A and B are shown apart, each in its own frame.
Chain A
Amino acid sequence: MNIRFRGWLCGMSFCILAPAVQAANWLMLQGAEPAGSAARAKVWGFIQPEYQYTQGTKLKAGPWKGQEAIFNQIGPDLKTSSQFNIRRARIGVRGAGFPLDTKTNYFILVEAGNNGITKPGGGTGSLKLTDASITLNYIKGARIRIGQFKYPGSEEGLMAIHVFDYINFTNVTNGVLLERFVKFDGNCKGSNCPANKPLGSVNAFRDIGVQVFDTFKVRDWEHSYAVMIGNGNGITRSDNNSNKDVYLYWSSEKVFGGKGPRRQGWKLFGWYQHGTRTLTLEQGDADPANDITRNFHRTRWGFGTTYRHGRYRAAAEYIKADGMIRNGTDGAAVPGALAKNGAVASINVAPDEQADGWYIDGGYKLLPALEIDARYDRFNRATKVSANERRFETFTLGAQYFFNKKTRVIFNYEFRNAEAPNLPGSAGPNKVLDTLDDRASLQLLAIF
């Protein structure tokens, strides 16, 4: 299916399904307890077993021709093109430790699934703390949250994952917001080069720091703001430089009714993030003495809208990224794969590049227990130098069947396409990107 036709198909589907993610206040839902009625300790969590499948088409061109293509392998191990997996298994406790004073809330959550948090780059799996925050609600208009928690930002990242309507993130969110932390830029290509493996968990849309935020109700509108300062070095570890990340967030939502993560309403939001990352630039040889370690700016911003009313839900968001662009792997091979010329595939980072992307998403409840979903997303990676640009497009069709309010099964089929738009179709990168398969996924989700 060509890109133009997919765009048209997406647009048509969107019109039919009506304008989707959630209209909910994630700042308040994830860490703030209701005044006067919080439990001392509420245990909760969820499990997401799943199956994902691609055809596993091998690379058609480049030095790693005939080997596995990273985008056709299933993470986090990237060893197969189809597998059953426990994507997430989280358990947590939240509440007010001293219920007579519900102005102090806590939130702690642990991840035991098999994913980029517990097993970054296919390393050894382990339990990882995803959230550990304390919220102080003593100052009217300025609640304070301290610890490790979701930073204010993109709707797809900020929303609670157990009410996410799809199995996989959009390309742009995965590409520029779900941050991987590596030491090198990946420019060393020799067989003696150090492996550019992830330094730890993906950021999981979280940071360690302090956030000031609150929500104000004006008639049936709810306005929220958040300002946060964090390490900008991911979760469950210390900072690696003295520069801190700054996060700004605003949202205004007309509330139609209901409460919780599936509250009905129409929300407008905007966000901005800026920080610094320390990266070692390899000089194309295996001698670390020649490497240069520098700080690079990393900026992200975006805006969007969500809508949920009756049987309909919809969302759209635009995201812009400047600096520290994750730039795939050498030849789209699995990191560590050995090419015929002796090169070892590495994870690459383009520290001075730019990227942008957007998505549009809609859902319609055919029956109270059955929802159909459609999402189109585009990711333009490395747009500063035209020859570097890669364009990823995915059109996802989905269905969710709700056994009850807390148990559902999700099916997704992703029509995936990618190209180097400024290079001829016969160029090597386009031949490599032609390898990209569609992906089918089935996931069961149970919340307790």
Chain B
Amino acid sequence: MEHRRMLSPGRRAWLWLLCLPLLALAWLPVARAAKPFAEHKIVLQISDRDPFKQTLVLNVANNLIKHYGPDKVDIEIVAFGPGLRLLFADNSNAPRIDSLVQAAGVRFSACDNTFRAVTRKLGHPPKLNPHAHHVSAGVVRIIDLVNQGYLLIKP
């Protein structure tokens, strides 16, 4: 008869205690996780209707990554108001967004207030870029990030 080694109840409790933080981390979406070794934390705001600003905000993100390196800078781009168009699925900048997410872990947040307003105007919800994450309000997201030590830049 095979003898199975059993953990004592005390050891089992310790093991659970050690695993809990890891399980909690696993619940967080990977893409939304801040970079633990980032020395610079930046939130970029895009809220202009000028299409040039879309290019500009992506250029700024790209330049920050080039300067500091992808592991040393944590960037989140928050889009609200007319700036939400940057995160429309068919936006001509979609390949650049994809590249910034895949290569440098840049995060994109879409304002839900604006999303609902656009839905009313269009008569249907706009299709968003798959990398965009809904936040209840773009400006609130910026305040939260600033309170967490992020530096706000509005190109």
Q: 1/0 contact trace for A13-45 toward B, CB 8 Å?
A: 000000000000000000000111111100000
A36 close to B121 (CB less than 8 A): no
B122 close to A35 (CB less than 8 A): no
Q: How many residues of A contact B (CB 8 A)?
A: 11
A292: interface (CB < 8 Å): no
Q: A100-B122, A101-B122 are in contact. Are A39 and B86 (CB under 8 A)?
A: no
List residues of chain B with CB within 8 A of the CB of A37.
51, 54-55, 85-86, 91-93
Within 8 A of A (CB), among B119-155: 121-122, 126
Report Cα–Cα, A99/B126, bound state, in Å. 13
List residues of chain A with CB within 8 A of the CB of B85.
36-37, 99-100
Min CB distance B79 to A, Å, is: 11
List residues of chain A with CB within 8 A of the CB of B94.
36
Q: A100-B122, A101-B122 are in contact. Are A36 and B90 (CB under 8 A)?
A: yes
List residues of chain B with CB within 8 A of the CB of A36.
85-86, 88, 90-94
Closest A residue by C-beta to B118: A100
B2: interface (CB < 8 Å): no
Report Cα–Cα, A271/B62, bound state, in Å. 42
Min CB distance B87 to A, Å, is: 9
Min CB distance A448 to B, Å, is: 15
B51 close to A34 (CB less than 8 A): yes
Report Cα–Cα, A34/B49, bound state, in Å. 14
List residues of chain B with CB within 8 A of the CB of A99.
49, 82, 85
Report Cα–Cα, A99/B85, bound state, in Å. 9
List residues of chain A with CB within 8 A of the CB of B126.
100
B50: interface (CB < 8 Å): yes
List residues of chain B with CB within 8 A of the CB of A34.
51, 92
List residues of chain A with CB within 8 A of the CB of B54.
37
Nearest 8 interchain pairs by C-beta: A36-B91, A34-B92, A37-B51, A35-B90, A36-B88, A35-B92, A36-B85, A37-B54
CB within 8 Å of A: which residues of B? 49-51, 54-55, 82, 85-86, 88, 90-94, 118, 121-122, 126
Given A34-B92, A102-B90, 17 further pairs, Cβ under 8 A? A34-B51, A35-B90, A35-B91, A35-B92, A36-B90, A36-B93, A36-B94, A37-B55, A37-B86, A37-B91, A39-B49, A39-B51, A99-B85, A100-B118, A100-B122, A100-B126, A101-B122
